[in-house]
Structure 1
Amino acid sequence: MIKTLFTLLSLTISTQLIAQETVVFQSGKDGYASYRIPAIVKNKTGELIAFSEGRVEHAGDYGNVDIVYKISKDEGKTWETLQIAVDYEKLQAGNPAPVVDLLDPNYPNGRIFLFYNTGNNHEEEVRKGKGLRETWFITSSDGAKTWSEPTNITMQVHRPNQPSINQAYQFKEDWRTYANTPGHGFQFVSGPQQGRLYIAANHSAGNPQTQGKDWNAHAFYSDDHGQSFKLSENIPFPGSNESIAAQIDDQAVYMSSRNQQINPKQRIISISRDGGHAWESAKLDPNLPDPINQASVLSWKKGKKFILAHLNAADPIDRNNLTLRLSKDQGKTWYFNKLIAKAPEGFKGAYSAYSDLVLLNKKTVGILYEKNNYRDIVFSKESIK
């Protein structure tokens, strides 16, 4: 009898744990061979909008790639049918980086910005100067029901040297590959830059170098609700790759970057004290192990200070051990650490890879992440302190 009760209790607990996780995008469904690169935001109405690359023919980074999305009206319990935000025909549209502008007086209900990149060749070929990445955005003021025509902001936020493709692209910096943050952008909620839209990014410059040192992270931002954009300085750390940023004080920005130099396998953390234009420091954080992967950061105000959340595959070898951390001191220490996803014994491959965070309320965050060798992108809710 006791054994039976124990079994029933175990099954109940197991069912509850499974119920907390919902598959949002599943490879092979809805006309796409694979879904990669998740991003998520919450609209002013409270609806969640989950974005992904929809890879039509295969799981590879380059090819016929669209940007797709789904909406949830019940905090991620259920998701509506898949919709397409960007279709670049047979070429690549990727790196969805959404952010909701909540402070534009012309859009009192909020306006969603979706930044993305297009490409006409494989990343390694573009890195050799044989191709072009461009940067665009579209907007929606009706909760992602409809979208604006795309706006090309390549001249403002990129520095390509490809005059044969476009006469205007003759920048001496010779940036080649280019990628918005995999994940959400953010808006300054307080301070002199209140209202600023901020998108982390990265690029490669000139010919490929050893240890990936031609890669460098940077950011771009708008102080006029998307009418114009400016570039930040590069972070002072060659080899910094995929990045994401969050506000940690009225004028301070925290950026977490992938280390393309490979060793040591730790996140690169950069701090800005002037609203995200210049960088005070950039260094490896031994408290944030990483298997050369993407990560997500998120912040929110609690009183006069910010809570910072960091989420990544905290394993120096595999894309595994997805871990959520919280900090009250701008990422110097982490008072909350929770393992979100760990591969079962014997599992081979990437159990938990790219991810993104969204604040549901002051006690709960939503996590959207790639799971089970990129077969699924799932959503779960996690209680926080």
Structure 2
Amino acid sequence: GESSTLTDTEKSQPSSETELSGNKQEQERKDKQEEKIPRDYYARDLENVETVIEKEDVETNASNGQRVDLSSELDKLKKLENATVHMEFKPDAKAPAFYNLFSVSSATKKDEYFTMAVYNNTATLEGRGSDGKQFYNNYNDAPLKVKPGQWNSVTFTVEKPTAELPNGRVRLYVNGVLSRTSLKSGNFIKDMPDVTHVQIGATKRANNTVWGSNLQIRNLTVYNRALSPEEVQTRSQLFERGDLEKKLPEGAKISEKEDVFEGGMNNKPNKDGIKSYRIPALLKTDKGTLIAGADERRLHSSDWGDIGMVIRRSEDNGKTWGDRVTITNLRDNPKASDPSIGSPVNIDMVLVQDPETKRIFSIYDMFPEGKGIFGMSSQKEEAYKEIDGKTYQILYREGEKEAYTIRENGTVYTPDGKATDYRVVVDPVKPAYSDKGDLYKGDQLLGNIYFTTNKTSPFRIAKDSYLWMSYSDDDGKTWSAPQDITPMVKADWMKFLGVGPGTGIVLRNGPHKGRILIPVYTTNNVSHLNGSQSSRVIYSDDHGKTWHAGEAVNDNRQVDGQKIHSSTMNNKRAQNTESTVVQLNNGDVKLFMRGLTGDLQVATSKDGGVTWEKDIKRYPQVKDVYVQMSAIHTMHEGKEYIILSNAGGPKRENGMVHLARVEENGELTWLK
């Protein structure tokens, strides 16, 4: 049941029926008495709260300019420090993409206003002061939506700052269910000195009237305090949807939603100068600490430019979060030909903890200055050279073809093995290890070996993809300098090797117990991203000291009667890319992979991720829209389950959680 429990017939009827009486006058008396009873009397029966404004049974349409003016109530609103705004309404089935429900606005300043609104069917919220700056966090991507053409309720609550809420709190509910909480501010109408208008529907913003739509409004009520979630649920009980009536199992709890990383809006950076956060990872440590990781993309949301690997920590199960900790952020090229691309790139993070040593690893991709995976050289360049049993990184010098090498302590050696006066910073010390790769001649800083345009350094690394690793031995508070693990895991034929972002695992049983698994994927030089992306894992059997690459899921797999291999394949539909990994109780490793088939693909390994069964399972009931997913293994009442989250589509939207039961033979039965 997606439909509202409130129907047009019900809304015109009293909430209780009158018993039949032979006395017509008595019947009429009772009828008149019941006319005075609100239709949802019991829903409105709230204690210790006063009604400040109430408006019932109005419409916004062409006859009134899609606007109901309530400006005479403005002074009452300005006195409120804590408040609730509750609105019951029915929009047109074809309502505009954005329309206002209730707003307070200014005749002189168009960007000073408060609005409860609907954006692409999502109940949203904005409050702006006289400087036009947002009071609250972003609500445009809040999870709960209203139903076009049906009755809905949207409820806003605001609380002033207190000792427990130092900045105040606002909440937005849809049909009685909490959609999002913002702890950024408790500001309300009293904090908007220039507002002059109060309205339902079309909103006066300086000289313009905007955001109108056709609405039926059953009730608008403003209360003088913030209703509790339980009170909002009671006040909205006529609007509960059937699919929200299911009760949580005993002991289960849904936490309030908290924005851990929030980028900018409207193509503007946030207060810290960051445009975008992408590619989340979430790890729970042995101490119970939550570590949330992300790409901090300063200039834009694209997969290149100034990107920092950052985390935040929570020691109270996600209720509060510490400041951002930057694992690494390489410095920008100050003379880059295009500043939007002008930085070496770290991107996509995997987090995992070794249960024995307690060391936490962050493994991520690295590229020299450029467009990352989309800007790789068409001509392969050797990245490493083995000399006397040791592997050294190669440097290319302008005007020369032979390879220089970076050796112990960062000293640069000539192609014939002689030490030079050049030195590369291999043990960085500056904040965020931003000086890694800096090149010196004596004490003179010349540039950086990761720069590629307008560079002042005579040397650069190969224009290739790399895999780096950082670690923490103090529960994520501080992190080591990046270590390059590329030569351990990247074969010569691989054009690209990168992680499947999210979390890795440590095998908890079987002959390879203790093995660390990190999802990765590769491309070859035959078809690169067009036909060779292939999932696999890298693994460590010595607590992260050395790493090895397992075979790809696509290696020696039969597809349409032909045997393919990740090193040579050119088959668009057979590709599998980013993945997430779990281990079953029977020791099997399951790799959940994104691909281009439109449905979920799952591979199985019987040897701890070294090789894969040639039969890839496809599950049409679980959609895959080619975006990051995450899976975890869990037990409940003695039974084994997999919980998988991904986007439900049709685009990268509509986040969903799926539940699979693990059968005795290791097969998966999807329940939801």
Q: TM-score range by the shorter chain?
A: 0.7 to 0.9
Letter in 2 for 1:203: T
What does residue 3 of structure 1 align with? 40
CA distance in 2, matches of 1:87, 1:331: 42
| RMSD over equivalenced CA pairs, Å | 2.3
Q: Which is richer in strand?
A: 1
TM-score, normalization: structure 2? 0.44
CA distance in 1, matches of 2:581, 2:490: 18
What does residue 40 of structure 1 align with? 282
What does residue 233 of structure 1 align with? 551
CA distance in 2, matches of 1:2, 1:325: 39
Measure how far apart 1:207 and its partner are. Answer: 3.1
Residues 305/193 of structure 1: CA separation in 2 closer, same or farther (3 Å cut): farther
2:260 is paired with a residue whose SS is strand
Q: Is the 8 A contact 1:243 1:256 kept in 2?
A: yes
CA distance in 2, matches of 1:194, 1:306: 19
What does residue 601 of structure 2 align with? 268
- 1:249 equivalenced with 2:582 (yes/no): no
1:155 is paired with a residue whose SS is helix
1:214 is paired with a residue whose SS is coil
What does residue 350 of structure 1 align with? none
1:257 is paired with a residue whose SS is strand
- 1:144 equivalenced with 2:144 (yes/no): no
**Counterpart selection for 2:348 from 90, 95, 118:** 95
Q: Which of 1 and 2 has higher RCO (CA within 8 Å, sep 6+)?
A: 1
CA distance in 2, matches of 1:137, 1:4: 62
What does residue 214 of structure 1 align with? 532
CA distance in 2, matches of 1:239, 1:77: 40
More off after superposition, 82-91 vs 34-43: 82-91
**Counterpart selection for 1:117 from 365, 384, 389:** 365
Q: Number of paired residues?
A: 313
Q: Is the 8 A contact 1:88 1:118 kept in 2?
A: no
Measure how far apart 1:149 and its partner are. Answer: 2.5
Measure how far apart 1:306 and its partner are. Answer: 3.9
Sequence identity percentage: 27
Letter in 1 for 2:300: H
Measure how far apart 1:241 and its partner are. Answer: 1.0
Measure how far apart 1:331 and its partner are. Answer: 5.8
Question: Any unmatched runs of 5+ in structure 2?
Answer: 1-37, 45-85, 87-152, 156-172, 182-255, 265-269, 332-342, 381-462, 558-573
CA distance in 2, matches of 1:217, 1:224: 23
- 1:18 equivalenced with 2:180 (yes/no): yes
Q: Is the 8 A contact 2:275 2:300 kept in 1?
A: yes
Residues 79/206 of structure 1: CA separation in 2 closer, same or farther (3 Å cut): same
What does residue 284 of structure 1 align with? 618
**Counterpart selection for 1:313 from 635, 647, 651:** 647
1:156 is paired with a residue whose SS is helix
More off after superposition, 241-250 vs 123-132: 123-132
Q: Is the 8 A contact 1:271 1:279 kept in 2?
A: yes
CA distance in 1, matches of 2:176, 2:539: 44
1:3 is paired with a residue whose SS is coil
What does residue 296 of structure 2 align with? 54
Measure how far apart 1:332 and its partner are. Answer: 1.9
2:300 is paired with a residue whose SS is coil
CA distance in 2, matches of 1:297, 1:155: 29
- 1:77 equivalenced with 2:330 (yes/no): no
